[in-house]
Amino acid sequence: MSGANGSFTVTVPYEPGVDLFWSVTRYDANTFLPLNPTDIGGQNIQVFNAFNTKPDDKGNITVTFSMKDPKDGSYWMPVKETGYYLIYRYYGPTARLNGNTAKDIIYTISFSLF
């Protein structure tokens, strides 16, 4: 993905059905490392998980990946103009996740072009 193409927003359940924890991290598509804070305006946000977020009133968490803070109440994951990718990890899956694919877990995905 590319920050130059606009924002990318994902909404998933805060309690997805895992015993241990979940996380979402975004990485530089060229180096495969977390984004350098100097490349994203000094922001050092590298990961969101069950320890540094809270669910909304519907029991979900929404993360926006964009170059500018959307200021819409979602958790903002700063990205750079060039390529990046994200990984959602689920540790200790329970029977609730058995047989599910990403499309069964992700509630909404939206793109917003500049």
CA 51 to CA 49: how far, in whole Å? 5
CA 24 to CA 48: how far, in whole Å? 5
Kind plus residue range of the DSSP H or E element containing 106 = none
What is the reported pLDDT for 18?
A: 85
Q: Say yes or no to pLDDT of 9 above 60.
A: yes
Average pLDDT score over the chain = 85
93 in Cβ contact with 18 (< 8 Å) = yes
Condensed to tens digits (0 to 9), the pLDDT of residues 65-94 reads 999 999 999 999 999 898 999 888 888 888
Containing domain of residue 83, as a range?
3-94
What is the reported pLDDT for 12?
A: 87
% the chain with pLDDT above 90: 39
Q: Which residues of 70-95 are buried (b: 16+ CB within 10 A; e: fewer)?
A: eeeebbbbbbbeeebeeebebeeeee
Q: In this structure, is residue 77 part of a structural domain?
A: yes
**Structural domains counted in the chain:** 1
**Nearest one of 63, 69, 62, 73 to 40, comparing CA atoms:** 69
Looking at residue 72, which CATH number applies to its domain? 2.60.120.600
